[in-house]
Structure 1
Amino acid sequence: MNDSSPHGREERSRSSFSRRSFLKGALAAGAASGFLAEDAVRAADARASGHGAAAAVFAFHAAHQAGIDRPPPPQAQPAATFASFDVTARDRDELTGLFRTLTDRARVLTSGSTPPATGPGPHDDRLLGGSIVPDGLTVTAAVGASLFDGRYGLAGRKPIQLKTMRPFEYDRLDPAECHGDLLLQLCAGHRDVLVHAFLDVLAHTKGVLTPRWRADGFVNPPRPTGTPRDMLGFKDGIANPDTGDAQQMNQQVWVQPGGGEPDWTVGGTYQAVRIVRFFVEEWDKVPVGEQERIIGRRKVSGAPMYGTEESQDPVYTNDPQGAITPLNSHIRLANPQTPETAATSAILRRSYQYVRTPDPAGDVNVGHVFCCFQRELDTYIAMQNRLEAEPLVRYISPTGGGYFFVLPGVRDNADYYARGLLA
């Protein structure tokens, strides 16, 4: 409907202003990026606070984006925000401007700086005491299947396995907390840095990017040592690929040339995010021994059922009937160690916990922002299909999330997110 009311004219004017501001900011960002120092893993000056701790900086320019294997999950960045957006850019040029702006803001936010007193674009340092504190911040950008519809002429360039997440048998998905054109994964040492980064992105992309859903998470400290625990009380993320082994990462996480994917995807990876509610009040009624058989590990130590240390690898060759580690336990279904499942049993987990307001019935609302990366999305889907048979489904309920493709890394100051996709 053609709205000629004063309110309608005001909304159009406001939208036009937002787009003009975005485009001016995008042009200024391209000019400003030249003076940014080369990113490297280093220690920043001590933050002017009572703690005086040095803040880590993880290289922004690399073949792969940070926030996946750099730093190794999960303890180095105990706070995370997963923010999904709908892209409202009007055309391919505005979409390119959006990715250029996101790249510039990520460079600045992850490297740390003192913002200029004046200059183009929004200016905000109120949370961080006059300077942008890197605090180990990583910004990981990924795109959803919906970005490859007819709006921007990208349908023929979609990663071959990227699709909209469909509900599994026991999912209770809330449409308001699913999918998205773009996902930004923000991870850092403290939540104020994440809030600042999130607000910065919103300010610099107003008019071309609309928030869809957000999930905030945290990593518990080791109790007493080793891998942190999830909200069920079990150690989470023990079985992960060795992020320091380049060959293993290339085989299991990073998209490689010659695999049938579009050329621009090389160096990227598929990301699955699942917001999973835990029914901890019911779980706590289950005897610990039964909990251990459901998970497949000892609760206190994190060790396999027959072991004493979490570092021990589960081995099932002497337990074909599941007398020690049940065949339908979580870890055994995830990786049954059979020839038939060998190709669909390795993912890189990078998950966080959440606590939300209890529901109207007064039931506790806590859970898990499950996040994993893999070279092929079908690997995760096959694993999750196996897990539909686990007894744990009685105590959990996936409610949101989505599938995304993490863009290859930004190589240098002339590069930007999605450059290969948009070329």
Structure 2
Amino acid sequence: MDDGSDQPPDRRTDPGTDRETDPGTGLPAAGPAPATAPLSVLSRRALLGSAGAGLVAGAAAGVAGGAVLSRSAPHPGAAPPRSGGPASPGAGRVPFHGPRQAGILDPQQARVHLAAFDLAAGVSRDGLRELLKRWSRTAARLAAGEPAEAAENQIALDAGPCSLTVTFGFGATLFDRAGLTDRRPPGLEPLPDFPEDALDRARSDGDLLVQICADDALVAFHALRVLQRQVVGTAAARWQMSGFSRTPGATERPMTGRNLMGQIDGTNNPKPGEPSFESRVFCGSGQPDWLAGGSYLVFRRIRMLLDNWENLPVDRQERVIGRRKSDGAPLSGGSETTAVDLGAQGPDGALTIPADAHIRVAAPQSNGGAAMLRRGFSYHDGLLADGSQDAGLLFLAFQADPRHGFVPVQRKLSRGDSLSRFLRHEASGLYAVPPGAPEGGYVGQTLLEG
């Protein structure tokens, strides 16, 4: 759904020259490829492979035969650039440590696993601290392509890091259960009930949320299984969901992705570098010190009524969204990136973009400037009992304060968005996403030791 948001940019650069590369081919626009690949991206194979040093040398030679690329860091506060690209997708690496958690500003990967956990009865603040230390050490090793120290299962034995990111969030209930009630941030107040919500509470909320993203399905699943096994005795799984996005390099040129309705999804995201980007996405004044530089994550599982949608003629679909389906251009004219003209009228004096079109109702100018950084993934979980598709969007949106971001926008959408009749909101969650961990530290350290 285009709610005035877009995915982070998917520009790639040659790390040796900082020249842009063609995301379709993975080749630099000009200049030679780097001569070698960092050995760190091969460390999982080096440490677990049976061929020892010979395997490392052979793999390094193979990578050196092509360009080793990186996606540029989209913002100074983001993690350092990835290495790797379409020519060597396994070599993509996003460091775990940094001022902000990975998986927020980084270019979107092809796969996601979301998993929520509840602390076990009797687990104290000390138990939570030990879990977060263990998880952070493991996430850092896996992001570097190294094996986990505990619960390693060799699922990703033959792969590089594949741009793996692991992001942790804290639900409102965590603070009471861990004896941290006085440190719960004000933005974690429960989301209101919205009209037409049909939420399954068993698949909503949770004390802890883990977002795992990677460009390879086995690498993502490997990280999920390791973290799940490391939590035994401290917390229990509450729910788990998986999703997918377009594989990096699947298109000949950088393009905004499409959702399962076939629509180009998310063209007007707040972009790193814009004057309001920091204040819209990351926490500042009015939030606890431990959350400074962090964010809030809203999760919604939104099922799409695809049979109903696909029975609409394309021109009707376009009027529901407010954009052309073929290229994403607004019905007011231009190309995908042309600013929407909400005042444009046709020859008959009617609004070119209907009053209930999705992009009109969701636009920041229609919601007091409210905006979010979306990073949603599609999902497909087979058929429901009535034979309809259990498919849609795992909506993920990072913002500085959901009371001034998601909540007012969703209230307006639930009242007047023509797209709503083709959607069902079936699960929901809100989480505080703390800042990143420094080298030697762990996520949540500012909360638990501040």
Which band: TM-score by shorter chain? 0.7 to 0.9
> What per-residue deviation string (whole Å, max 9, x for no partner) do you get for residues 272-319 of structure 1?
110010111011111111111111111110011122421212122445
Q: Answer yes or no: is the 8 Å Cα contact 2:344–2:351 preserved in 1.
A: no
Output the aligned Cα RMSD: 2.3
Say whether the 8 Å CA contact 1:82–1:184 is kept in structure 2. Answer: yes
Indicate conservation of the 8 Å contact 2:260/2:378, yes or no: yes
Matched, 1:351 2:376: yes
SS at match of 1:69: coil
Matching residue's letter, 2:271: D
Where does the alignment leave 5 or more consecutive residues of structure 1 unmatched?
1-38
Q: Which residue number corresponds to residue 243 of structure 2?
A: 217
Q: Which residue of 2 aligns with 1:278?
A: 304
Equivalences for 1:300-339 in 2 at 5 Å? 300-319=326-345, 323-335=351-363, 337-338=365-366
Once the two structures are TM-superposed, the CA of residue 122 in structure 1 deviates from its matched residue by 2.5
* C-alpha distance 53-293 of structure 1, shift in aligned 2 (>3 A): closer
> Structure 1 261/343 Cα, relative in aligned 2: closer, same or farther at 3 Å?
same
Q: Distance in 1 between matches of 2:174 and 2:80?
A: 31
Take 1:208 and 1:410, find their aligned partners in 2: how far apart are those partners?
21
Partner residue of 1:133?
Answer: 160
SS state at 2:185 partner: coil
| Aligned counterpart in structure 1 of residue 259 of structure 2, from 215, 221, 230 | 230
Does 2:449 align with 1:417? no
1:94 aligns with 2:127: yes
1:359-374 to 2 correspondence within 5 Å? 359-374=384-399
Determine whether 1:189 maps to 2:222: no
After TM superposition, the structure 1 stretch with the greater mean CA deviation from structure 2, 136-145 or 329-338, is: 329-338
Distance (whole Å) between structure 2 residues aligned to residue 371 and residue 121 of structure 1: 30
2:51 aligned residue: none
Cα distance, 1:308–1:246 mapped onto 2, change above 3 Å:
closer
Aligned with 1:403: secondary structure?
Answer: strand
Counterpart check, 1:250 vs 2:286: no
Match status 1:241 vs 2:241: no
How far apart in 2 are the matches of 1:386 and 1:100? 41
Measure, in 2, the Cα distance between the counterparts of 1:352 and 1:224. Answer: 21
**CA offset at residue 42 of structure 1?**
4.8
Q: Which segments of 5 or more consecutive residues in structure 2 lack a partner in the other structure?
A: 1-78
Shift of 1:52: 5.7
Which AA in structure 1 matches 2:420?
V
Other-structure match for 1:395: 422
Q: Specify the alignment match of 1:66 in structure 2.
A: 102
Larger CA deviation: 94-103 vs 163-172: 163-172
141, 148, 151: which one pairs with 2:175?
A: 148
What is the distance in 2 between the residues matched to 1:97 and 1:319?
A: 60
SS of residue paired to 2:186:
coil
Given residue 328 of structure 1, which amino acid in structure 2 is its aligned partner? D
1:342 CA displacement: 2.8
The range that moved more, 174-183 or 218-227, is 218-227
Q: Secondary structure at the match of 1:214?
A: strand
In the aligned structure 1, how far is the partner of 2:257 from the partner of 2:89?
22
SS at match of 1:354: strand
The percentage of counterpart residues that share the same residue type is: 32
TM-score scaled to structure 1, two decimals? 0.81
SS of residue paired to 1:192: helix
Change (3 A) 1:152 1:252: same
State how far apart, in whole Å, the 1-side matches of 2:315 and 2:422 are.
Answer: 16
Contact preservation (8 Å) 2:377, 2:394: yes
Shift of 1:157: 0.7
Q: Secondary structure at the match of 1:216?
A: strand
2:197 maps to 171
Q: Which amino acid aligns with 2:399?
A: Q
Count residues in correspondence.
Answer: 363
